[in-house]
Amino acid sequence: MAQVLVVDDSSTVRNEVSEFLKSNGLTVSVAVDGRDGLAKLKSDAAIRLVVSDVNMPNMDGLTMAEKIRGELNNAAVNIIMLTTENSPAMKERGKAAGIKGWIVKPFNGPAVLATFKKLLA
């Protein structure tokens, strides 16, 4: 049972983000790529927010988002991408997959936390 699912193939980012969220009172589950993320989301109905990297092996973040909306038919979970760059094409795809936000690394803790708490409220 976790509120937030952090998906990133980099263990550094994964740990940093999840530790930060945990230290601020959120319950966090982690996944190493999009495929893992889908499985975790399927098995834990409590997840209300997915924070995901874009470029990952096996399944990238955008594909995962599309599958969450499509295969899992889960329109309720908030998806936020954590990325280093962005482009109109990615944004287009993201919009279609119902991605709520884009956080450009490095992320700013307080601003991110405030919005996350709002999304989870």
Partner 1 sequence: MSIGQRIALLVVLAFLAIATLGGVAWYQFRLNAADVRIVTEGVVPSALASADLVARLKDVQLVTQTLVYAPDENETLQARNRLAAQQERLRESLELQLAGANSQTQQGLAAQAKETLGNYFHAIDETVQLKLAGQQEVAIAALFASVAQYQGELEQIIDTLRVEKNRTKDSAIAALKASMSKTLTIILLVTALAISLLALFGAVLYRQITHPVRDMQQMMSDIAGSQDFSRRVPVRRDDEIGRSIRAFNVMIGKIEESSALLRQKTNDIEAMLLNMPQGVLTVEPDKRVHPEYSAYLATILETEHIAGRNFIELVFAGSNLGADELAQIEAMADSCIGEDQMNFDFNAHLLVDEIQKTMPGGRVKILELNWSPIGDGAGNTARLMLCVRDVTELRKLAAEASEQRQELEMIGQILAVNQDKFHEFIVSAIKFIDESEILIRSHPLPDAGALVELFRNMHTIKGNARTYGLTRLTSIVHAAEQTYEELRKSRPGLVWDQQQLLGELAAVRAAVENYARINEVLLGRKGPGRQGSVERYLLVDKNQIRATLQQLESVNPNSLHELVAARDAVRHTLRLLGTESMEEILGSVIEGLPALAAELNKDAPQLKIRDNGYVLHAQAGGMLRNVFMHLIRNAVDHGIEPAAERLACGKRSAGEIRLDVEVSDEQLRLTLGDDGRGLALVRIREIAVRKGLIAPDARLDDAELAQLIFCPGFSTASKITEVSGRGVGMDAVQEFVQREGGHIRIVFTDQSEGAAFRPFAMQITLPAMLAEQLEGLALAPAMLAGDAPPPAPAVPLPVPGQAVPDRAPQAPIESSSEQGFKA
Q: How far is the CB of 113 from partner 1 (least distance, A)?
A: 10
Question: Which residue's CB is nearer to partner 1, number 6 or number 38?
Answer: 6
State which of residues 86, 96, 117, 120 lies at the interface with partner 1 (CB under 8 A). 86
CA–CA separation, 85 vs 104, rounded Å? 7
State which of residues 19, 44, 71, 85 lies at the interface with partner 1 (CB under 8 A). 85
**By the rule CB under 8 A, 118 interacts with partner 1:** yes
| Closest residue by Cα to residue 34 from 61, 13, 10, 53 | 61
Phi, psi values for residue 53, rounded to 5°: -70, 160
**By the rule CB under 8 A, 112 interacts with partner 1:** yes
CA–CA separation, 89 vs 116, rounded Å? 25
CA–CA separation, 115 vs 39, rounded Å? 26
**By the rule CB under 8 A, 91 interacts with partner 1:** yes
The contact set with partner 1 (CB under 8 A) reads: 83-88, 91, 100-104, 107-108, 111-112, 114-115, 118
